[in-house]
Amino acid sequence: MKRILALILVTLLTFTLAACGTQPAAPDGSSQGTSSEDGSKTSSNSDSGLIKVGIVNNPPSESGYRAANVADFERVFNEANGYKVSTFYSLKNDEQLNAAQQFITDGVDYLLISAAATDGWTNVLENAKNAGVKVFLFDRMMNVDESLFEAAVVSDMAAQGRMAVEWLKEQNLSEYNVVHIQGAMGSDAQIGRTNPLNEEFEKGTMKCVIQQTATWDEATAKQIVESVINSGEKFNVIYAENDGMAKGAVAALDEAGITHGVDKEVIVIGFDCNKWALRELLAGNWNLDVQCSPFQADKIHEMIQMLEAGKTLPEKIVINEETYFDARTITQEDIDKYGLGD
């Protein structure tokens, strides 16, 4: 009896998880397939003149970034723009591999992949090449030979960090006492955003008051800043590796009566450009927010059109153009155009 129940539960669990993996596409009510099974259907009506595209991505529930990324691809890759799209979401590499293989078997024209892990893709991409399926990588690189894909549109996390540090240097402060709140250790974003600042610390141009990970958690970020305030050490810059942690840090400043923002005691820097964060910039409460663009769809769309037109692509690795927003220059249009979420 108990065993049967356990079995039912496990099944239930699997279903729940599976549902979580695929459900995000459902609420949109779009006609796009959400799984490889739907992909097989698309192959039957291939004479509709649409370009068949298989997208393998991480599920939008992964993060706000991913949600924006998925939304961006949904905006660009649809029937109105001449695409017949099948999408598969998973955080697991092996599931992604299977889905990609299925898409190849289904005979898609293009395969767009944001891999969950960088390794293990060579086989599948070779199959794609043999089947004449053109592959684009987006958001994340993978460990494969460059000949196996047409182009990769990726974010350069280190560039984001450099942008922020350069901007900070331009402020010409008399001294830089930086509170550095890191993301989850070892993640791409953390490494990319930490390194440029570390270089400055090593050079001695900036002083590190504290460098601590808050694992992307807003409340932990607040506690870290509280502890600095309590120690009585001076600081005039908060460099938080995402918007949420910057918000947590600012909450600590507010409680301690420390002013922050444009021409205030403490400079606040965040990353990711959430809409609400950009609004803080507009209000002058924060100083800088650096974009980590989730918008790669337009670029890929452009390249696909080039290939369809028989042209060759100018470059293999396309670094996503990224920008940053200074509180002194940001406008409401920037927020509407570049802000993530709502």
Partner 1 sequence: MGNGFKKLMRTQLVIPLFSLFLIIVFNLIRDVGFFSISIVTNNQGNPVLSGNLISILNGASAVAIMSIGMTFITSSCKGQDISVAAVAAIAGSVFVSVLRSYEITVPVIIYAFLLSCLISVVFSMFNGILVAVFKIQPMIATLILFSAGRSIAYWINGGATPTVSSPLLSAIGGFIPGIPVPTPIIIMIIFLVLISLVLRFTTLGLYTQVVGINEGTAHLNGINPVWVKLLAFVISGVCVATAGCITVCRIGLINHETLLLDAEMDVILAVAIGGTALSGGKFNLYGSVIGAYIIQALTVTLFAMKVPSAAVKAYKAAVIIIIVIFSSPVVKEFVVNLYKKMFKSRVKTPVKAS
Question: For binding to partner 1 (CB under 8 A), which residues are involved?
Answer: 2, 5-6, 9, 12-13, 16-17, 20, 23-24, 60-64, 67, 182, 185, 210-213, 215-220, 222-224, 226-232, 244, 247-248, 251, 253-259, 274, 276, 340-342
**Shorter beta-carbon distance to partner 1: residue 218 or 289:** 218
CB of 64 to partner 1, least distance (A): 5
**Shorter beta-carbon distance to partner 1: residue 24 or 39:** 24
**Shorter beta-carbon distance to partner 1: residue 40 or 211:** 211
CB of 234 to partner 1, least distance (A): 15
How is the chain split among helix, strand and coil, in percent rounded to 5? Answer: 50, 20, 30
Q: Which residue has tokens 């039957």? A: 44
CB of 7 to partner 1, least distance (A): 12
Find out whether 292 and 160 touch, Cβ atoms under 8 Å: yes
Contacts of residue 101, Cβ cutoff 8 Å, sequence gap at least 6: 124, 127
In which element (H, E) is residue 128 found?
A: helix 122-130
CB of 335 to partner 1, least distance (A): 13
**Shorter beta-carbon distance to partner 1: residue 251 or 313:** 251
**Shorter beta-carbon distance to partner 1: residue 233 or 302:** 233
**Shorter beta-carbon distance to partner 1: residue 152 or 250:** 250
**Shorter beta-carbon distance to partner 1: residue 148 or 210:** 210
**Shorter beta-carbon distance to partner 1: residue 10 or 317:** 10
CB of 175 to partner 1, least distance (A): 19
CB of 248 to partner 1, least distance (A): 5
Cα angle 115, 57, 321 (rounded to 5 degrees) comes to: 80
CB of 313 to partner 1, least distance (A): 32
Sheet of 151-154: strand order equals 83-89, 51-57, 110-113, 134-139, 151-154, 317-319
Q: How far is CA 316 from CA 145, 154, 299, in A?
A: 11, 11, 13
CB of 238 to partner 1, least distance (A): 14
CB of 195 to partner 1, least distance (A): 14
Find out whether 111 and 100 touch, Cβ atoms under 8 Å: yes
Q: In 10 A of CB 222, how many CB atoms?
A: 22
Find out whether 289 and 271 touch, Cβ atoms under 8 Å: yes
**Shorter beta-carbon distance to partner 1: residue 128 or 237:** 237
Whole-angstrom Cα distance, residue 269 to residue 265?
13
What sign results for the dihedral spanned by CA atoms 205, 320, 329, 338?
negative
Whole-angstrom Cα distance, residue 324 to residue 193?
14
Whole-angstrom Cα distance, residue 131 to residue 153?
23
Find out whether 138 and 318 touch, Cβ atoms under 8 Å: no
Whole-angstrom Cα distance, residue 165 to residue 245?
18
